[in-house]
């Protein structure tokens, strides 16, 4: 079964709506490597309308320009791109298609497709939120920037129940960015103060 992986740049206070002013100063070769590793897992990119418009408005031109980022631009062009949108779209970027039917049903079908190795969701906050709530995200890969953005859309919005996560890998970059890879986890057993009070510092 294909893995669904979300990859996000995020601030220390949980903002996943990127502001170039606080994102690009921290982008270095380590982050570039991490991003490349994420994209190398994917046969399919699953992206929301806003993310698609941003990508399609930039990467085809960068591929055509033939600069240093052209190989990555070509990789993005070649991969299958499934776009989540309530409106019909006319696609100018190759290998792009509109999701068919309900999002959760479509992702469940993609996960079950034996020909698909991995499904990557770059950005696309609302898509990630819906799939997290449905239990369809297998990995959450966050590049946590050492900045409190203080404004912008957060990944974890208000809800009735917490998401419990297990850390599967961490890496600290010289810029202060921390890469954290989470997978879903069961809620721990309920514990109150009486069960942990023996761990409280004993004092001097």
Catalogue all structural domains in the chain, each as residue range(s) with its CATH number.
3-199 (3.40.430.10)
Radius of gyration of the chain (CA): 19
- Say what percent of the chain tops pLDDT 90: 78
Let me know the angle formed at the C-alpha of 129 by 88 and 188, rounded to the nearest 5 degrees.
155
Confidence bin at 197 (pLDDT 50/70/90): confident
Write the Ramachandran bin of 135: left for phi over 0, alpha for psi from -120 to 50, otherwise beta.
left
By DSSP bridging, strand 118-122 and strand 96-98 are unpaired
Tell me, what's the pLDDT at 202? Answer: 79
Distant-in-sequence, close-in-space partners of 117: CB < 8 Å, separation ≥ 6: 2, 3, 41, 42, 43
Determine contact, residues 136/107, Cβ cutoff 8 Å: yes
Q: Report the pLDDT averaged over residues 17-46.
A: 94
Cα-to-chain-centroid distance, residue 149: 18
Most distant CA pair in the chain, distance = 70
Tell me, what's the pLDDT at 44? Answer: 95
**Is the per-residue pLDDT at 159 higher than 80?**
no
Whole-angstrom distance, CA of residue 135 vs CA of residue 124:
17
Tell me, what's the pLDDT at 1? Answer: 85
Q: Which pTM was predicted?
A: 0.91
What are 72-127's pLDDT values in tens digits?
999 999 999 999 988 777 888 999 999 988 999 999 999 999 999 999 999 999 99
Determine contact, residues 165/184, Cβ cutoff 8 Å: yes
Element (H, E) at 108: helix 103-112
Element (H, E) at 55: helix 49-56
Determine contact, residues 109/33, Cβ cutoff 8 Å: no
Nearest Cα residue to 137 out of 173, 101, 99, 110: 110
């Amino acid at each position: 079964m294909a893995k669904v992986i979300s990859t996000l740049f995020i601030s220390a206070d949980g903002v996943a709506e990127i502001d170039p002013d606080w994102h690009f100063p921290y982008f270095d070769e380590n982050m570039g490597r991490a991003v490349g590793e994420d994209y190398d897992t994917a046969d399919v990119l699953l992206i929301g309308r806003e993310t698609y418009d941003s990508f399609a408005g930039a990467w085809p031109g960068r591929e055509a320009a033939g600069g240093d980022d052209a190989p990555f631009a070509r990789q993005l062009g070649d991969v299958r791109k499934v776009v989540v949108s309530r409106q019909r779209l006319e696609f100018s970027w190759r290998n792009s298609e509109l999701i068919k039917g309900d999002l959760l049903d479509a992702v469940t079908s993609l996960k079950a497709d034996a020909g698909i190795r991995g499904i990557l969701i770059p950005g696309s906050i609302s898509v990630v939120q819906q799939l997290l709530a449905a239990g369809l995200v297998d990995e959450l890969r966050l590049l946590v920037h050492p900045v409190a953005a203080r404004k912008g859309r957060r990944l974890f919005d208000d809800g009735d129940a917490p998401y419990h996560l297990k850390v599967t890998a961490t890496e600290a970059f010289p810029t202060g960015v921390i890469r954290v890879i989470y997978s879903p986890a069961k809620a721990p057993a309920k514990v109150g103060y009486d069960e942990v009070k023996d761990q409280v510092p004993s004092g001097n």
